[in-house]
Amino acid sequence: MSDTDLLTTPLHDLHRELGAKLVAFAGYSMPVSYPAGIIAEHRFCRASAALFDVSHMGQIRLIGNDAAKALECLVPADVLDLGVGKQRYSYFTNSNGGILDDLMITRRDADLLLIVNASCKDADIQHLITHIGQQCTVEPTPQFALLALQGPKAVAALSRLNGAVSRMVFMSGMSVDLLGSPCHVTRSGYSGEDGFEISVPADRATALARALLAMPEVKPAGLGARDTLRMEAGLCLYGHDIDTGTTPVEAGLAWAIQKSRRPGGARPGGYPGADVLGGQLARGTAVKRIGLLGLERVPVREGAVLHDAQGHKLGKVTSGTLAPSVNHPIAMAYVAANHAAPKHELYADVRGKAQPMRVTPLPFIPHRYFRG
């Protein structure tokens, strides 16, 4: 796509003003970094608070008394028992148990709010309309922007605009007034840190971003730092670590299938691929997603082939970076299950050289979510 073909978010002019390096991402012109650079932005998020523009992601309302029941036909999550003001992670699955997209679900007083990935949002909207559009209203909300304020000092910054947010806990949501605008805030994010995601009317997004960036705890951060932060936190990126060819059980995401939706539960199955996933939950899988720590300071990137000491192929890297907080190369990969045990050593092929790596538990750094 040429620059003129790319979509822009409501904060586009602000990104340019702040000196952002803009790149094409999921059809949008998005900031990959600002003048301070990816490493500085990453470290500032871990120490203080970083503001990310994630308005390219999809926000979708499901409206109607049967919305929760209908959504359970497409995801393996317990949506019916999700309380008002609570949030849950889930994924759309296909008939083979593969992942069409992952998403966040928040129950609000009058609807369910879904946050889906930018690259999948058009397909997700059509998927919802096709399969459950007769049971509830599927309403995309492009009139709202989405900001992510992440880091240990995020709560101090956002509380200046509305103190009610300080009472929230991880994976909860509430409607609040911020600078005179009606917003919906969840205490969640994609960095492994405490933080918030803020759905704000698009025409008020720049004013809110400016107010937050004026605070000493807050600096802007782009997609580059967002990626290194989520890798350290062991979080999957759709289209890389998970896709239609990987199942939630293979990906280590079975925790998001609540007991009530599993075989023997109150409402088992009923979603695409349920039989496949039920079998994998019972018997295990041939491959598993793992974390890898590099034993030498050579970054191992997506696509690198993994093998054992004898050169037998074991799997492939799906995400990798030289992690600023871990201070080591890290990667996530899928390997044969019998090579997935912690401390197991294997090798990544990097430009024809075998780089030693060690299987390590995920996440690479502890999550610091606020649970109350």
Domain boundaries, the chain: 3-50+143-232, 286-360
2-11, 76-85, 179-188: segment of lowest average pLDDT: 2-11
CA distances from residue 199 to 13, 54, 265 in whole angstroms, order as listed: 19, 10, 34
Burial class (CB in 10 A: 0-12, 13-18, 19+), 347: buried
pLDDT per residue as tens digits for the range 242-266: 999 999 999 999 999 999 999 999 9
CATH number for the segment(s) 286-360: 2.40.30.110
Residue 170 has pLDDT above 90, yes or no: yes
Q: How far apart are alpha carbons 221 and 148 in whole angstroms?
A: 10
Cβ count within 10 A of residue 284: 11
pLDDT per residue as tens digits for the range 28-64 = 999 999 999 999 999 999 999 999 999 999 999 999 9
Average pLDDT score over residue span 133-147: 98
Q: What is the pLDDT of residues 306-362, one digit of tens each?
A: 999 999 999 999 999 999 999 999 999 999 999 999 999 999 999 999 999 999 999
Question: In this predicted structure, which of 1-10, 29-38, 201-210, 355-364 has the lowest mean pLDDT?
Answer: 1-10
Q: Give the H/E segment covering residue 211.
A: helix 205-213
Q: Indicate if the pLDDT at residue 2 is higher than 80.
A: no
Give CA 296 to chain center in angstroms: 28
Binning pLDDT at 50, 70 and 90, where does residue 4 land? confident
- Which pLDDT value is given to residue 138? 98
Give percent of the chain with pLDDT exceeding 90.
99
Positive/negative CA dihedral, 70, 113, 12, 149: negative
- CB-count exposure of residue 145 (10 Å: 0-12, 13-18, 19+): buried
Q: What is the mean pLDDT of residues 8-26?
A: 98
Q: Is the pLDDT of residue 98 over 80?
A: yes
- Looking at the domain that runs over 3-50+143-232, which CATH code has it been given? 3.30.1360.120
At residue 3's C-alpha, the angle toward residues 27 and 225, to 5°, is: 60
Residue 106 has pLDDT above 70, yes or no: yes
> CA nearest 55: which of 219, 200, 218, 226?
200
134 CB-near residues (< 8 Å, 6+ apart): none
pLDDT for 298: 95
Q: Tell me, what's the pLDDT at 320?
A: 98
Which helix H or strand E contains 359, and what residues bound it?
strand 353-360
Q: SS3 helix, strand, coil % of the chain, rounded to 5? A: 25, 35, 40
Q: Calculate the average pLDDT of the chain.
A: 97
Instruction: Decide if pLDDT at 3 tops 80.
Output: no
